[in-house]
Amino acid sequence: ATALHRACSLSIVWGVERLLKKGANPMITDNYGNTALHLAIEMGNPHIIIGIIKAAGPAIVNIQNYKEETALHVAVLNTQVWAVKYLWEIGASGTIKANEKTALQVAMGMIADGGSADVVEIYDLLLRFD
């Protein structure tokens, strides 16, 4: 993992901003195939998420980690409603599968397992965008 990965996983906004300004590459993956965006989405800080996408470009949103998860899958799994909306707005693919499931199918499974109102909202969002 890089310093950028650590700053993202700890949600240290100023650290992420400084590292990106100094040229840290957000496309580099850690030992699990996660980009800085995967980790930022887990933490859910909009400033960090937007900063990473601005620095890397929109292609980063569809990179899959070693579990085949894109940023959209991670946003669904972590019930990050705002991140799901934002990723869709900037062109995240809803057809990429992780473990044979699209992000919509992941949300469906979470609802079946007793998901929260936020999971239902995510499902409804993904259904509209699909």
Residues 6+ apart with CB under 8 A from 66: 32, 33
What pLDDT does 58 receive? 93
Tokens read off for 122: 């995510």
Q: Each residue of 46-77: pLDDT tens digit?
A: 999 999 999 999 999 999 999 999 999 999 99
pLDDT bucket at 130, cuts 50 / 70 / 90:
low
Q: Cβ distance 77 to 123 under 8 Å?
A: no
Does residue 115 surpass a pLDDT of 90? Answer: no
- pTM of the full structure: 0.94
The topology (CATH level 3) of 3-129 is: 1.25.40
| Residue boundaries of the structural domains of the chain | 3-129
